[in-house]
């Protein structure tokens, strides 16, 4: 209860409560123009919560008190709601205090029979600000942690399903929960971090600073990252950044949930062909190398002899690869290799004699290239292999 000395403030608060709708419109508009994050909050919902806050604030002033438990419970509900909507805690607190500022501005602009009451009112306001700020921080942080835990669980489940080739309705719903459009294109990155303990911080940095949607999950020592809405330049930049702290295999952009599963397979294949000196492999560009290295065991019986020859004769292997890269042109191969044409011809003939595969024949050249790729992978020192 208040005594008679507070009566002028009671009358002033009642007058402001009569004009609450206009005050709410002004305050909500100011918040939304000052803090762009409030575009995440529907306008009518925002107006309703501002109305609740300012009405409670004026009722507390009228009763000569700070926030009571019921007021704080409403603040807890609001903070949790804003956390789920993605409004940062600092923005929420600033918006809350902006409402207090608007109330104070209007009270201080009114004629008062007892100006000394403003000192008492200011004391109540400061006490309330400290209490409400700590309440908002606690509730928002708690909800954010719960949301992060839930998102991590859903991400792991989605990437588990897609890795197993499961592209059913469950996968679509999980993708939607994470903010993806199941009908749009996806791209997957497989990342092998050099320091697993620093992986979480690097993934969070990627999520915070990238202009595209992403989610990730851990698989033993590797991470899978599923991306949507990235332009090729941004995605390549993100992949290159990750390769600075490990090795990365990037899948192709594929359409739909089934495409997401396919891109994951591609990214994992690409990861098998990276080395420390070449830590980033794009499946769209390196698919032959990736497929060959990922199936080295299956190919051993048909390539072992040629691989051994390539390992023992690295100059021959290098010429075979350059010959393939230059469209089977001896002259072009000589030019890019800085060799005489006769030297290139000799090496091609030498390869044919040693392996029985004629690189001037397309089928034999394809087999030769795969053998040389496998030889390159074998020749890389163990400590130079990313995987």
Give the tokens for residue 129.
Answer: 């600000």
CATH number of the CATH domain containing 200: 3.30.70.270
Amino acid 205: pLDDT: 78
Do 282 and 315 reside in the same domain of the chain? Answer: no
Please check whether residue 251 lies inside any domain of the structure: yes
What's the pLDDT band for 1 if we cut at 50, 70, 90? very low
Q: Which of 258, 286, 314 is the last residue of a domain?
A: 286
Which backbone phi and psi does 2 adopt, to 5 degrees? -110, 155
Mean pLDDT across the stretch 58-80? 92
Triad 194, 197, 202: Cα angle to 5°: 75
Please check whether residue 265 lies inside any domain of the structure: yes
Long-range contacts: 146-154, Cβ < 8 Å, 24+?
147/83, 147/84, 151/178, 151/215, 152/217, 154/178
Q: Which of 235, 263, 286 is the last residue of a domain?
A: 286
Q: Which residue has the higher pLDDT, 113 or 364?
A: 364
- Give the whole-number percent of the chain exceeding pLDDT 70: 95
CATH number of the CATH domain containing 299: 1.10.10.2840
What's the pLDDT band for 385 if we cut at 50, 70, 90? very low
Do 248 and 302 reside in the same domain of the chain? Answer: no
Please check whether residue 155 lies inside any domain of the structure: no
Amino acid 383: pLDDT: 38
Amino acid 92: pLDDT: 94
Q: Is the pLDDT of residue 250 over 90?
A: yes
Supply the range of the domain harboring residue 76. 4-146
What's the pLDDT band for 225 if we cut at 50, 70, 90? very high
pTM: 0.62
Mean pLDDT across the stretch 298-318? 92
Overall number of domains in the chain: 3
Do 254 and 376 reside in the same domain of the chain? Answer: no
Do 237 and 304 reside in the same domain of the chain? Answer: no
Query: Cα separations (Å) of 116 from 13, 120, 249?
Result: 16, 7, 70
pLDDT in tens, 90-142: 999 999 999 999 998 888 887 655 567 778 888 888 888 889 999 999 999 99
First to last CA, the chain: 73
CATH number of the CATH domain containing 58: 1.10.490
**Which pairing describes strands 246-250 and 280-282: parallel, antiparallel, or unpaired?**
parallel
Do 138 and 227 reside in the same domain of the chain? Answer: no
What's the pLDDT band for 379 if we cut at 50, 70, 90? low
Do 141 and 227 reside in the same domain of the chain? Answer: no
Mean pLDDT across the stretch 301-309? 92
Mean pLDDT across the stretch 173-194? 93
Q: What is d(CA 67, CA 182) in angstroms, rounded to the nearest whole number?
A: 45
């Amino acid at each position: 209860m208040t005594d008679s000395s507070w009566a002028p403030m009671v009358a002033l608060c009642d007058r402001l409560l009569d004009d609450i709708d206009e005050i709410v419109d002004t305050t909500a508009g100011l918040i939304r123009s000052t803090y762009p994050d409030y575009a995440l909050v529907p306008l009518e919902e925002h107006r309703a919560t501002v109305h609740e806050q300012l009405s409670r604030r004026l009722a507390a002033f009228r009763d000569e008190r700070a926030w009571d438990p019921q007021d704080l419970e409403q603040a807890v509900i609001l903070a949790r709601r804003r956390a789920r909507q993605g409004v940062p805690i600092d923005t929420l607190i600033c918006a809350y205090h902006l409402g207090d500022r608007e109330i104070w501005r209007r009270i201080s602009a009114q004629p008062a029979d007892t100006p000394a009451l403003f000192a008492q009112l200011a004391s109540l306001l400061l006490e309330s600000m400290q209490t409400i700020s700590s309440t908002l921080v606690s509730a928002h942080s708690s909800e954010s942690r719960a949301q992060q835990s839930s998102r991590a669980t859903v991400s792991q489940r989605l990437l588990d399903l897609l890795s197993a080739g499961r592209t059913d309705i469950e996968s679509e719903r999980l993708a939607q929960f994470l903010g993806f459009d199941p009908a749009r294109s996806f791209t997957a990155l497989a990342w092998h971090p050099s320091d697993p303990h620093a992986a979480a911080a690097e993934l969070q940095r990627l999520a915070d600073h990238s202009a595209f949607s992403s989610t990730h999950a851990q698989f033993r020592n590797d991470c899978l990252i599923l991306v949507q809405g990235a332009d090729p330049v941004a995605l390549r930049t993100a992949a290159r950044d990750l390769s600075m702290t490990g090795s990365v295999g990037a899948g192709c952009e594929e359409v739909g949930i089934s495409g997401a599963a396919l891109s994951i397979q591609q990214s994992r294949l690409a990861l098998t062909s990276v080395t420390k000196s070449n830590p980033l492999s794009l499946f769209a560009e390196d698919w032959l190398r990736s497929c060959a290295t990922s199936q080295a065991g299956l190919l051993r019986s048909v390539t072992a002899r040629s691989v051994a020859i390539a390992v023992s004769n690295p100059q021959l292997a290098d010429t075979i690869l350059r010959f393939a890269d230059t469209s089977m042109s001896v002259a072009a191969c000589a030019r890019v290799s800085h060799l005489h044409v006769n030297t290139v011809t000799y090496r091609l003939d030498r390869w044919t004699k040693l392996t029985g595969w004629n690189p001037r024949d397309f089928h034999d050249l394809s087999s030769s290239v795969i053998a040389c790729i496998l030889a390159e992978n074998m020749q890389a020192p163990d400590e130079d292999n990313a995987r």
